[in-house]
Amino acid sequence: MDADASLLRRLRDGEEQAFAALVERYHSPMLRLALSFVSSQAVAEEVVQDTWLAVLRGLDRFEERSSLRTWLFSILVNRARTTGVREARSVPVADAGPVVDASRFGPSGAWVLPPEHWIEEAENRVDAVKLSELLRFGLGGLPARQREVVVLRDVEGMSSAEVCDVLAISEANQRVLLHRGRSRLRQVLESELGGEPR
């Protein structure tokens, strides 16, 4: 049985420790996701707290047709979207154009300014704390929709199907957002860590 299924069972048995474990596991990713929809940390925290309460109140009705994680994040996204709309937060404009600056390619479409090397730097020379800060900075700079998908897919490790369920978007849309978000994140790493191309 996976860890979530066993937590769910213990939660239904009224074990406070199971709730604490669930909170440790999911509170901060949920907070990070909520921040994509609403304008402030305080509002995001409120949305996540509301979500936890809804989860507890809904425990008896949860039919396990989806995983516990999908269920949690779906509740969160619904609440965060409602709150975001209530706050009349402007919807970010669609992000078009190439994911790598066109000036880096020649007229034939071949690289003239090829990717700078940074993988070795990231793995061997940058300490973990600095790397985490850099990634958080990069994620924070993504347009909200892209951030949602990258956080769920790459940070949280969800499958594309799970992400589509949670965010109620199509596979194709998910892939476009993922592509744009990951590409931007790569560019941030290159800009901060890159050296001359070999």
- Residues binding another protein (CB under 8 A): 14, 16, 19-20, 23-25, 27-29, 31-32, 45, 49, 52-53, 56-57, 96-100, 102, 105, 108-111, 114-115, 117-119, 122-123, 131-132, 135-136, 139, 150, 154-155, 157, 160, 172, 175-176, 178-179, 182-183, 185-186, 189-190, 197
Q: What is the CA radius of gyration of the chain?
A: 19
Give the closest residue to 34 by CA, choosing from 94, 70, 81: 81
CB of 88 to another protein, least distance (A): 27
CB nearer to another protein: pick between 90 and 108:
108
- Closest approach, Cβ 95 to another protein, in A, equals 11
168: phi then psi, degrees, rounded to nearest 5: 55, 50
Q: Which residues of 168-195 are buried (b: 16+ CB within 10 A; e: fewer)?
A: ebeeeebebbbebbbebbebbbbebbee
What's the closest the beta carbon of residue 85 comes to another protein, in angstroms? 24
CA–CA dist 13, 71 (Å, integer): 19
Q: How many CB atoms lie within 10 A of CB 50?
A: 17
User: What minimum distance in Å lies between the beta carbon of 19 and another protein?
Assistant: 5
Nearer to another protein, 78 or 155 (CB): 155
C-beta of 85 vs 161, nearer to another protein: 161
Could you tell me the smallest distance in angstroms from the CB atom of residue 17 to another protein?
10
Please say which residue, 39 or 190, places its beta carbon nearer to another protein.
Answer: 190
Between CA 124 and CA 111 the distance in angstroms is 27
- Using the minimum distance from each CB to another protein, give the nearer residue, 1 or 102: 102
Nearer to another protein, 93 or 102 (CB): 102
Closest C-alpha to 68, from 50, 55, 51: 55
> Rounded CA gap, 74 and 104, in Å?
40
To the nearest whole angstrom, how small is the minimum distance from the Cβ of residue 125 to another protein? 14
